[in-house]
A and B are shown apart, each in its own frame.
Chain A
Amino acid sequence: SQTIHQWPATLVQPVGSPLSLECTVEGTSNPNLYWYRQAAGRGLQLLFYSVGIGQISSEVPQNLSASRPQDRQFILSSKKLLLSDSGFYLCAWRLIQGVRDEQFFGPGTRLTVL
Chain B
Amino acid sequence: QKEVEQNSGPLSVPEGAIASLNCTYSDRGSQSFFWYRQYSGKSPELIMFIYSNGDKEDGRFTAQLNKASQYVSLLIRDSQPSDSATYLCAVNKGDYKLSFGAGTTVTVRA
Contact = CB atoms under 8 A, between A and B. Distances in A.
B44 A105 contact: yes
A56 interface: no
Interface string A67-101: 00000000000000000000010100010000001
Given A101-B32, A103-B46, A43 B97 contact: no
A106 to B, nearest CB: 6
A59 B43 CA distance: 21
Interface residues of A, number: 21
B98 A46 contact: yes
B101 to A, nearest CB: 6
Given A42-B102, A103-B34, A49 B43 contact: no
A105 B43 contact: yes
A102 B103 CA distance: 19
A7 interface: no
Given A101-B32, A102-B49, A103-B34, A44 B44 contact: yes
Contacts of B98: 34, 44, 46, 103
Interface string B71-110: 0000000000000000010100001111111110000000
A51 interface: yes
Interface of B: 4, 32, 34, 36, 42-46, 49, 88, 90, 95-103
Interface of A: 32, 34, 42-46, 49, 51, 59, 88, 90, 94, 101-108
